Amino acid sequence: MHMKICKTVEQMRLASRTAHRAGKRVGFVPTMGALHEGHLSLVRAAKARSDVVAVSIFVNPTQFGPKEDLAKYPRPFERDCELLENEGVDLLFAPSAEEMYPKGAVTWVEVEGLSQKLCGRSRLGHFRGVTTVVSKLFHIIEPDLAFFGQKDAAQAAIIRRMVHDLNFPIEIVVCPIVREPDGLAMSSRNAYLSPQEHKSALVLHRTLTEIQSLFAHGERNSARLIEAGKKVLAQEPGVRLDYLGIVDPDCLEPITDLQDQALVAVAAFVGSTRLIDNLVLRAI
């Protein structure tokens, strides 16, 4: 079947309502495009659990800060369409910024507290933009399930909280991080990296695996684990740490004495590119 491309809210709503009326379960994957295997893993998870798969491609201006990369964010639309078509996606929602934010819009959705943690601390207003656009997309598409990547662990926690607090009748499915063979977490922003920067960027994953290995050997003190991680990261001169934290994966509060599940999250600038990565600590 051919993928239907919807550019307006009305077209998209009609298409997903038609699917619902035919008794289909609609699975939804929100993205900003410049698709890679990470995105496609979400599409495949959606295919496995839904009758109709809807994907959105929208580079959401409200989640970018004034000094961030909104203008230069990659937008290879034709290629993205081809990739989605090959995965058997049924519906693509690709609205313009004007379509999503008509003049005069003043309403926001904000998950208080959580939105100021991790990336929310260094990217003011970022998560408010994310929760607002995801709420809008949820209202437009009315999916039964929505698929997010663990790559953006704070985002996943915030969306889960929002869906719970606002009674969205949507099951949130979080899928594992997809990495390059060398360990680098896939990201549309990896396209900004020079070959040298790509090599330097591998230190993010090395930092996380160092912490995981100390944890596996019994270290349960967060401060010491973070120190050890920072030491690894400092070995790469081209990389500047934004944050390295060990937090509760649901409320994103720092954990000092580790017992059960903990999320280790890192963000760093490699040259001028800001990258994030994380892992969930497990005693192996």
Binding letters toward ligand AMP, positions 9-38, x by CB under 6 A: ----------------------xx-----x
DSSP state of 279: E
Residue whose CB is less far from ligand AMP, 41 or 115:
41
Q: Out of 2, 39, 126, 164, which one is annotated catalytic?
A: 39
Tell me which amino acid residue 179 is. Answer: R
Least spacing, CB of residue 30 vs ligand AMP, in Å: 6
- Please, are residues 92 and 55 in contact by the beta-carbon 8 Å criterion? yes
With tokens 């990565």, the residue in question is: 277
Please choose, from the candidates 35, 78, 26, the residue with its C-alpha nearest in 3D space to the C-alpha of residue 59: 35
Q: Is 149 in the site for ligand AMP (CB under 6 A)?
A: yes
Residue 146 and residue 211: Cα distance in Å, rounded?
31
- Token pair listed for 13: 């709503």
Residue whose CB is less far from ligand AMP, 73 or 215:
73
Residue whose CB is less far from ligand AMP, 63 or 222:
63
Residue whose CB is less far from ligand AMP, 87 or 222:
87
- The correct pick among 50, 131, 132, 188 for binding ligand AMP (CB under 6 A) is 188
Terminus-to-terminus CA distance in the chain, angstroms?
45
Q: Is 185 in the site for ligand AMP (CB under 6 A)?
A: yes
Q: Binders of ligand AMP among 40-69, rule CB under 6 A? A: 41-42
Q: Is 178 in the site for ligand AMP (CB under 6 A)?
A: yes
H or E element at residue 44? helix 37-49
217 in active site: no
- Please, are residues 27 and 53 in contact by the beta-carbon 8 Å criterion? yes
Residue 281 and residue 284: Cα distance in Å, rounded?
9
- Token pair listed for 263: 């999320």
Q: Is 132 in the site for ligand AMP (CB under 6 A)?
A: no
Least spacing, CB of residue 230 vs ligand AMP, in Å: 24
Active site residues: 39
